[in-house]
Amino acid sequence: MHELSIAQGLVDVVTAEATRLGATRVRTVYLAVGRLSGVEAGALEFSYDLVTEGTLLAGSRLIIDDVPIAIHCVRCDAEHALPGVNRFRCPVCDTPSADIRRGRELDLTRLELDEPDDITSSPGSSFSVSSANPIS
């Protein structure tokens, strides 16, 4: 399962960051997941529970922030969010666009950690997703 290896990678990155900061426990992990990232949120949450067992992340919450797709339209000279994943046309003027600005991300955006003091970290780490992109 694709999500299992992503969850494992996430645990590795978070563990490294938490260890670096001297945290004893990870409380909450915030992840931005683009709709084109190929990651299924439900499967990732399930995998997360499995791979966090026995780690600093055990019992922590995974908050997945769904990132819609946004394209840049040359005609409008503006960025527009798309309502779905099947139609790469400007929602305003209907010009086709392959210039995708958002929606592919798989980013660790925030961590909430326990000890020594309450720490909030914004490592800004990015995962590169190796899954095939369905549209390019």
* Residues at the contact surface with Zn ion, assessed by CB under 5 A: 73, 75-76, 90, 92-93, 95
Shortest separation between residue 18's beta carbon and Zn ion, angstroms: 44
Shortest separation between residue 91's beta carbon and Zn ion, angstroms: 8
Beta carbon nearer to Zn ion, 35 or 80: 80
Shortest separation between residue 96's beta carbon and Zn ion, angstroms: 10
Shortest separation between residue 73's beta carbon and Zn ion, angstroms: 3
Beta carbon nearer to Zn ion, 94 or 118: 94
Beta carbon nearer to Zn ion, 63 or 76: 76
Beta carbon nearer to Zn ion, 60 or 97: 97
SS (H, E, C) the chain: CHHHHHHHHHHHHHHHHHHHCCCCEEEEEEEEEECCCCCCHHHHHHHHHHHCCCCCCCCCEEEEEEECCEEEECCCCEEEECCCCCCCECCCCCCECCCEEECCCEEEEEEEEECCCCEEECCCCECCCCCCCCCC
